[in-house]
Structures are given as C-alpha cells and as structure tokens.
Amino acid sequence: MAELGTLVEKVRSKNAGPFWLTVDIFCGSAEAFARVTTGLDTTRVAHLFGVEPQAMKRFDIPDLNVVKLSVPRPVVQGTRADRDMHGAGWAVLVEEMEIA
C-alpha cells in the first residue's frame, strides 16, 4: 500500500462550471499510470467525496498518463454550504488515499 500522492506527479481538483467538480491525477509515467488505474477504486473515491458511486465519471487516458474523475459538485459552487469556491481542496482526499 502507498499514499496515491506519493506515486504520481500531481493531483488537481477544479470546478468544471459551478455545478461540476473534476479531479485530474497526473501520473507522470506509464508505470505510475498502470498502478493507479488498477489500484484506484472509484467507489472509494465516491465515498470519500460523499457522493453516489454511479454519479462519478472516470476517464483513464493512457496517452497522457492521466486518470480523470468528474462528479456533479456535492455542494453547488458559492452556495452557503460551499467551503471551497474553486473546488481546489478536494484533490487532497484523492492524494491522501492509500492504494495497492
């Protein structure tokens, strides 16, 4: 097991418009990409984000060694319950996940 963030170059989360959140995992190499694509359980990410697993879209992009996860924003951007206007903080939940 290892913390995902230690295996990859960068994890970035951003709004994709006010109603969506998108997380890009830049693996940096084919080896890291292979480990992340096999080790990363989308359902676990959904649980960490507090969303339904079927709401999460996942793209494994070998040309870029990137795994992308997109989900309707659990809290719409800028509403009173929103804590993070640009959606930047969600990345750490993925970064700090332990994966096989």
Partner 1 sequence: MTRVLIPTGALGLGYDRAALSRGIANRPDIIAVDGGSTDSGPSYLGRGVSKYSRASTKAEWRGLMQARAEAGVPLVIGTAGTCGADSAVDWLLEITREIAAETGQTLRVATLKSGQSAAAVKAALAEGRIAPLFPAPEISDALIDACSNIVALAGAEQIAAALATGADIVIAGRTTDTAIIAALPLVNGDHPGACWHGAKIGECGAIATTQPATGVIQIDFDATGFTMEPMALTAAATPYTVSAHMLYENSDPFVLYEPGGHLDVTGASYTALDARRVRVEGSEWIRGVYTVKLEGARVAGYQTVALALLRDRRYVRHAREWAADVQARVAAQIVERMGLSPDDFTLELRLIGMDATLGPLENRTTTPVEVGVLGIVTCPTEAQAAEAGKMLNPYLLHHALTEDEPMPTFAFPFSPAEMQRGALYEFCLNHVMRLDDPMSAFRLDVHEVGHG
Among residues 9, 31, 43, 78, the one that binds partner 1 under rule CB under 8 A = 78
Q: Is 62 in the site for partner 1 (CB under 8 A)?
A: no
Q: Is 95 in the site for partner 1 (CB under 8 A)?
A: no
What 8-state DSSP symbol labels residue 65? T
How many Cα atoms sit within 13 Å of 9 on the Cβ side?
12
Q: Is 30 in the site for partner 1 (CB under 8 A)?
A: no
Give CA–CA dist 13/89, Å, rounded: 7
Q: Is the dihedral of CA 1, 33, 57, 87 positive or negative?
A: positive
Q: Is 48 in the site for partner 1 (CB under 8 A)?
A: yes
Q: Is 44 in the site for partner 1 (CB under 8 A)?
A: no
How many Cβ atoms are within 10 Å of 64's Cβ, its own excluded? Answer: 13
Q: Is 49 in the site for partner 1 (CB under 8 A)?
A: yes
Quote the distance between the C-alpha of residue 85 and its chain's center: 17
Residues that bind partner 1 in the complex, under the rule CB under 8 A: 14-20, 22, 24, 26, 48-50, 57, 59, 61, 63-64, 66, 68, 70, 72, 76-80, 83-86, 89-90, 92-93, 96
